Amino acid sequence: MKEQITFEQYNTDIELLTNKIKQSGKKYESVFGIPRGGYYVAIQLSGLLGIPVVNKPNKDTLIVDDICDTGVTMSTYKDYDTCAVYIRENTKDNVTYYGVVKETWLLFPDEKETGIEDHIRRILSYIGEDPNREGLVGTPDRIVRMWGEIMRGYDPAQKPKITTFSNDMESTDMVFDSGDYYSMCEHHMMPFFGKYYFAYVPKKDGRILGISKVARVVGYCAARLQLQERLARDVVKMLTDALDGQVEGMAIVMRGTHLCKTMRGVKNNGQMTVAHLSGVFKDDPQTRSEFYKLIEQSK
Ligand SMILES: [Zn+2]
C-alpha cells in the first residue's frame, strides 16, 4: 500500500518529532541531514531547534533522516544520536527519536511517482536526444510495450505448457531439432541471436517431448536478460523437468552473434558458440558425435 505524504502533513510530523527531541532535554549543537531524504528534515529542524545545519557531523550533532526503513542507513551513524520522521514498528530501536510509526510505502512530498516511461525519457535526454521531438514522443510507450513481449520470460504465467507423450514405441532414438533464437545480453541489454541445435534421447520407459515445444521453450527462456551459457542451461533444465528427469540425455548447442561486440568493433566478430550436454551426450562419445553430425547436416 502506498501513501502520499503532503507538505502539510510532513511539517506537522516534523514538529511532532521536534517536540520529542525538546522533551528529552538534550541539547545539540547542530543537525546533519542524511543524503538526500534527510535534507528537508534537517532544514526544518534547524529552524525549529535554533541550531545550524552542518555537512559533516561532530559528536554533538543530531543525525536526521526522513524515514528509517530497514535500519541499514542509520547503522552507519551508530556513534551519534539519530532521528527519523517516520519509522517502521521493527526499526524503532535504530533511532534515538522518531516522529510517527508508518508501515505503508511512503511517497514524500518532493517525490512524485514516476512511471517507467519517465525513466526512458530521462535516458533519451542523457544520450543527447530531445524526448519531445515528434519521432520520439511515442518511443517510451513503444519500448514498454515491446518489453512486455521480449521480456515475457520473467512472467511465470507465460511459461509454455510442455506436452509430453508416453513412449509407447519404447524408442531410444535421438530426436533432433533446430531453429533460431533471439535474446538480450545481460551485460549491455543488447540483442544476441543465432541458431540453436537441440537433441535428446528418450528413456525407454519414460515420456517423449512434443518436439514443437522446444522452440517455445527456447523463446521463453530467451525472453529475459541472458547469458548465452545460462540460456542453454535454462532450456535443458526446463525440458528435463518437463520429463520429470526421465530422459537418457539432452544436448544443446547455441551459436550466436552478440551485437554488444559486433557493433562496438571489438576485434572478433561477436560470434560465440556454447554447448550444454547432459546424460548420454556427456558420457558417450558416439552419441555426442552423432549429434554434431546432425548439426553439420542441418546447416
Ligand atoms: Zn553484452
CA of 110 to the centre of ligand 1 (A): 36
In the block, which residue shows the cell 557493433? 263
**What domains lie within the chain, and their CATH numbers?**
2-107 (3.40.50.2020), 116-150 (1.10.286.10), 156-298 (3.30.1130.10)
CA of 119 to the centre of ligand 1 (A): 22
C-alpha of residue 270 to centroid of ligand 1, in Å:
10
Q: Ligand 1 center to residue 191 CA distance, Å?
A: 8
Contacts of 230 (CB under 8 A, 6+ apart): none
H helix or E strand, kind and range, residue 287: helix 285-298
Q: What burial class does residue 50 get, using C-beta atoms within 10 Å of its C-beta: 0-12 exposed, 13-18 middle, 19+ buried?
A: exposed
CA of 186 to the centre of ligand 1 (A): 6
Ligand 1: distance of its center to the CA of 216 in Å?
A: 24
pLDDT tier at 268, thresholds 50, 70, 90? low
The 10s digit of each residue's pLDDT in 37-86 is 999 999 999 999 999 999 999 999 999 999 998 889 899 999 999 999 99
Q: What pLDDT does 31 receive?
A: 97
For 178-198, the pLDDT digits (tens) are 999 999 999 999 999 999 999
Q: How confident is the model at residue 113 (pLDDT cuts 50, 70, 90)?
A: low
- For the chain, give the mean pLDDT: 94
Q: Is the pLDDT of residue 112 over 80?
A: no
User: What are phi and psi for residue 59, nearest 5 degrees?
Assistant: -65, -20
Find the farthest-apart pair of alpha carbons in the chain and give their distance in angstroms, rounded: 88
Q: Give me the pLDDT at residue 278, please.
A: 96
Confidence check: pLDDT of 266 > 70: no
State in Å: Cα 11 to ligand 1 middle: 47
Quote the pLDDT of residue 76. Answer: 92
Q: CB neighbours (10 Å) of residue 18?
A: 20
Which amino acid would we find at residue 204?
Answer: K
CB 4 within 8 A of CB 107: yes
What's the pLDDT tens digit per position in 160-175?
999 999 999 999 999 9
Total-model pTM:
0.69
H/E segment holding residue 95: none
Q: Residue 222 — pLDDT band, cuts 50, 70, 90? A: very high
Helix residue ranges per DSSP H, 205-258? 212-222, 228-242
Q: What is the pLDDT of residue 109?
A: 87
Residue among 87, 16, 4, 8 at smallest CA distance from 45: 16
